[in-house]
């Protein structure tokens, strides 16, 4: 359920953030990380886009069952949204 929710949110983000005219893109990059040991919470994201309009990035979420879900994705005009979802068992991103 969480996996599908993040995929849908990511897809909607890219659909609504696409330029509305022309093919002029600006390069950008951003990242964030949230760690809350008290609430056993971790998630992060990094993303970059280039002047051709290609976007690539990944985000991770520490799931309640102890796995770390990581979604790597790219978005471009030819392939659209392409993602690869992976899981790391018994992860603890709060340590270290």
Pairing of strands 80-88, 28-36: unpaired
pLDDT tens for 28-67 read: 999 999 999 999 999 999 999 999 999 999 999 999 999 9
Regarding predicted confidence, which is higher, 14 or 73? Answer: 73
Pairing of strands 80-88, 68-76: antiparallel
Spatial distance between the Cα atoms of 28 and 13, rounded to a whole number of angstroms: 15
**Which tokens is 52 given?**
């051709």
The helix/strand/coil state of 20 is: coil
Are the C-beta atoms of residues 44 and 30 closer than 8 Å to each other? no
**Could you tell me the pTM of the whole model?**
0.73
């Amino acid at each position: 359920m969480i996996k599908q929710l993040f995929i849908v949110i990511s897809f909607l983000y890219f659909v609504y953030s696409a330029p509305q005219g022309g093919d002029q893109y600006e390069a950008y990059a951003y990242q964030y990380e949230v760690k809350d040991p008290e609430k056993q919470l971790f998630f992060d994201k990094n993303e970059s886009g280039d002047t051709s309009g290609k976007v690539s990035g990944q985000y991770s979420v520490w799931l309640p069952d102890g796995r770390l879900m990581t979604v790597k994705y790219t978005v471009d005009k030819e392939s659209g949204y392409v993602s690869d979802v992976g899981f790391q068992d018994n992860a603890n991103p709060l340590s270290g």
